[in-house]
Amino acid sequence: MTSTNRPLPKPDEDSDEFWRYCSLHELRMQRCNTCGHFRFRPSVICPNCLSTEASWERLSGTAQIHSFVVVHQQMVVGYDQVPYVIALVDLDEGPRMTTRIVDCEANDLSIGLQVQVTFEDYTDDISLPVFVPSKSRV
């Protein structure tokens, strides 16, 4: 487990399922039972059709880099090891999320590159979904 003073998410009524699955190393998001739309961030309502019925479905964990940046100075507590890479990734099922790309050289990254989810454990309850470049690149 990573010992850290990094800021950690504080799950609330809407998001605690998301983080509970992350702690089990499963990337799950709500899928609307009415229209099939995957949504993220967690919410009580589907932004596509306003249905309140949804199921927590497991995602493939495969995504493409939508954009990425390289942080060169410490700006967040606990992130004193620079540089590191922050990215937006588009999951194969549709949703986009903020994450970090780890185990990579920034120079090897590009928009559109395929990446795969992995989890960093911080506490018994909190694991962060981060991504690594996929081994079999298309």
Partner 1 sequence: MSLAGQYAIVGVGDTKVGRVPEYSKTGLALLAAARAIDDSGLSRDDVDGVLTSQMGGTFIYSLEIATKLGIQPRYTTVMELGGATSVCMAQQAAVAIEAGLANAVLCVHAQKQATEGQRPRHGGALLRGFDEFDRPFGHPGATAVHALAARRHMHLYGSTSEDFARIAVAERLHASLNANAQRREPITLEDHQASRWVIEPFRLLDCCQVSDGAGAFIVTSAKRARNLQKPPVYLLGFSQFHPHRFISDQNADLTSTGAVVSGPRAFAMAGLSPKDVDAAELYDCFTYVVLTELEDYGFCGKGEGREFIKDGRIEIGGSLPVNTHGGLLSQGHVEGMMHVVEAVRQLRGNEVEPARQVEGAKVVLVSGHGGQMSTHGSLILGTERP
CB of 135 to partner 1, least distance (A): 22
* 19-38 binders of Zn ion (CB under 5 A): 32, 34-35, 37
d(CA 16, CA 2): 21
Closest CB to partner 1 among residues 53, 112: 112
CB of 69 to partner 1, least distance (A): 4
- Between CA 44 and CA 76, with CA 25 as vertex, the angle to 5 degrees is 80
Closest CB to partner 1 among residues 47, 136: 47
Listing DSSP states for 91-116 in one string gives: ETTS-EEEEEE-SS-GGG--TT-EEE
Closest CB to partner 1 among residues 136, 137: 137
User: How many residues are present in the chain?
Assistant: 138
Q: Choose from partner 1, Zn ion, none: what does 69 bind? Cβ within 5-8 Å by kind.
A: partner 1
CA atoms within 13 A on the CB side of 56: 16
Asked if 48 is part of the footprint of Zn ion (rule: CB under 5 A), the reply reads: yes
